[in-house]
Structure 1
Amino acid sequence: MSFFKLITPKAFVELAQKETSRRVIPVDSTWYLPNLNRNGKQEFLTLDRIPNSVFFDIDAVKDVNSPYPHMVPDLATFNQSMSELGLQRNDVLVVYDRIGNFSAPRCAWTLAVFGHPSVYLLNNYNLYKKLGYPVENDKRTKWSELGPTEYKSDIDLSAQKVIGYDEMLQLVTSGELSKRFNVFDARTVGRFDGSAPEPRPEMSSGHIKGTQPLPFGELLEQDSGAFPESPELMKKRFDEALAKLKDNYNPSLPTIAMCGTGVTACIVMAGLEHAGIRDVKLYDGSWTEWVMRSDPKLITKGRD
């Protein structure tokens, strides 16, 4: 079983038309890198969106006590956020973002971590609009038009789906990371090898020893930003990326995905799951936490 499912625009529209026992709720979770100077929340209020969407803010639904961005929230925070959006446990949630497949995989992953029963990732909004499916352009003043609910999940899979800093540090300092895990970093090769800057100017670029670059764009269609439609094509795209990047992959080992702040790593995770690779964890703090907490000697440049 996949952690969450991909759904084409056509299949989404058909699902919304045919489903009679449950609500089908589009969930916009657009988020941009800070150097782009764009605001996904404001765009949701003022620009086009799928009709009847709610906005899930990955900048707000997080561990507010952590100094690192986008860390997984606790169950109470998640339940409160879902209640404020007017969502119910039996809703079918279809997640998208305005870029295509950028921040939406992080939102879909979060929903699945906390056990929402029916989560889809729209593949994707660019194709949805290109195919002429309906959008609304009215100005909004709030993130949801639904009345508040008492959403209550008692499921928290973060212990199984997340690897923390202390475990990563032990694996790196013992030299065991690459022996026990495939570890892929979704940032660009330049950020990975230290030849290009991070989008956060206070951050050094580079990588964790034992990790390999797998820029998320390598797993997406270049024209639309969509994942290849079938698992077979997804696996072929993954294999081609490995060959291009000269990465190694051991299918007998579990996999860890990371990136800058735990957002685009979820694109890699979604792609791997779509290709049939199931045992994948997220290093949630990712490069930002590593730089802020680790000895500078544990920042590696170039390729291992």
Structure 2
Amino acid sequence: MTLYKLLTPKAFAELLSKETKRRIIPVDSTWYLPNLNRSGKQEFLDEERLKGAVYFDIDGVKDMKSEYPHMLPDLSTFNKSMSELGLKKDDILVVYDRIGNFSAPRCAWTLAVLGHDPVYLLNNFPALKLSGYPVETSKVTSFTPYEMSEYVSDVDLAEKETVSFEDMQKLVSTGDIKNYQVLDARSLQRFTGEAPEPRPGLSSGHIPGVQPLPFLEVLNSDKTFTSDREEMLKKIQDFVSQTGNEFETDKPTIAMCGTGVTGVIIKTALEISGVKNVRLYDGSWTEWVMKDGEVAKGS
């Protein structure tokens, strides 16, 4: 079961019209891979956004002590950042990104792991625009239209939701990884080592014992999630069977990717499909290569 709920464009519009007691705050979390040379932060200021939206920077609200990108922040960092955005504990947060479902699941998961409830994932922004829903296009100069608040959360589910580098290294070194289902959301070409990583100097390939599950394989053609359990299960099983592997819903499962962003997409998909025990390797491939260096190549 996911920590956040999917919200269709229609359901989002209905929520806005019916909710009278709490604020509904759209949260733009658009983020791009570094090789695209685009800035979600700048586009929030200069381009379109949902009315009343704030911008949540996954590269800014992170573990400041880590050298790896957008690792989960501690509660102190999180509370400070949420306060600076003017968010309140009783706000209903609706997360989106302008790509579709790319960085938004990571943001929604972060908010929920660190205690915000409720959190919705808009499924998704391009579909909302196609429905004719109006968006703001005027330039703004701030990442939030709200005054600073005093946001305080004392909930941290990171230990339950994630595995560390040390956990992964132990699974590989002892061979115990065979008792787990570890799935990598990067493209198949990056997984096999045929295509380069988007971060300069980082080798491609995969962790020994890990299976590929590219995140686009679990999304619909319009980058929306299906909420139907059987349909999602079939998507996953169809791809996994093509790679000569097996998919087991009752096996402890770990999701990963390049830096922990699209890993949340397949984590969400796995949970929709009925897998009950899914954790994220937060440091993912970048941390693994930089710390361990053991790389497998080939399918």
Q: Shorter-chain TM-score: which interval? A: over 0.9
CA shift for structure 1 position 246: 2.7
1:188 alignment partner in structure 2:
187
Q: For 1:221 and 1:91, locate their aligned partners in 2 and report how far apart those are by CA, in whole Å.
A: 29
**How far 1:232 sits from its partner (Å)?**
2.7
Q: What is the rounded CA distance, in whole Å, between the counterparts of 1:278 and 1:220 in structure 2?
A: 19
One-letter amino acid of the counterpart of residue 205, structure 2? G
Alignment match of 1:252 (pick from 240, 250, 253): 250
Contact 1:28/1:96, CA 8 A, preserved across alignment? yes
SS in 1 for 2:128: helix
Alignment check: 8 A CA contact 1:213 1:247 kept: no
- What SS class does the counterpart of residue 143 from structure 1 fall into? coil
- Conserved? CA contact 1:2–1:278, under 8 Å: no
Structure 2 counterparts to residues 262-277 of structure 1, below 5 A: 262-277=260-275
Matched residue of 1:3: which SS? coil
In 2, Cα distance between the equivalents of 1:80 and 1:178? Answer: 41
State the AA in 1 paired with 2:248: N
Deviation string 1:241-280 (CA, Å, 9 cap, x unpaired) is 2223333222222110000000010111111122222311
Q: Which residue of 1 aligns with 2:161?
A: 161
Contact 1:214-1:245 at 8 Å conserved across structures: no
Equivalences for residues 274-285 of structure 1 within 5 A: 274-285=272-283
Is the CA contact 2:84–2:149 (under 8 Å) kept in the aligned structure 1?
Answer: yes
Q: Is 1:72 matched with 2:68?
A: no
Deviation at 1:229, TM superposition (A): 3.9
Secondary structure of 2:93 counterpart: strand
Q: What code does the residue aligned with 1:247 have? A: N
What RMSD, in angstroms, separates the aligned Cα atoms of the two structures? Answer: 1.0
Structure 1 runs of 4+ aligned residues shifted over 4 Å read none
Structure 1, unpaired ranges of 5+: none
Is contact 1:178–1:211 with CA below 8 Å preserved after alignment?
Answer: no
Q: Distance in 2 between matches of 1:233 and 1:52?
A: 34
Once the two structures are superposed, what CA deviation does each residue of 1:20-64 show, in whole Å capped at 9, x if it has no partner?
111111100000000111110000111111111100000001001
**Can you list the C-alpha shifts for 1:125-157, whole angstroms capped at 9, x where unaligned?**
010001101101110101000111100000000
Verify: 1:107 aligned to 2:107, yes or no: yes
Q: Which residue of 1 aligns with 2:289?
A: 291
TM-score (structure 1 length as normaliser): 0.96
Structure 2 unaligned blocks of 5 or more: none
Partner of 1:273, secondary structure, is helix
Q: Is the Cα–Cα contact under 8 Å of residues 53 and 144 in structure 1 kept in the other structure?
A: yes
Shift of residue 175, structure 1, vs aligned partner = 0.8
Work out whether 1:14 is the aligned partner of 2:14. Answer: yes
The code of the aligned residue for 2:298 comes to G
Q: In structure 2, what is the Cα distance between the partners aligned to 1:249 and 1:238?
A: 8
**Identical positions, percent:** 57
Does the 8 A contact of 1:7 with 1:121 survive in 2? yes
Distance in 2, Cα, partners of 1:95 & 1:172: 35
Q: Distance in 2 between matches of 1:132 and 1:274?
A: 28
SS in 1 for 2:57: coil
Aligned residue in 1 for 2:177: 177
Determine helix, strand or coil for the equivalent of 1:128. helix
Aligned residues: 299
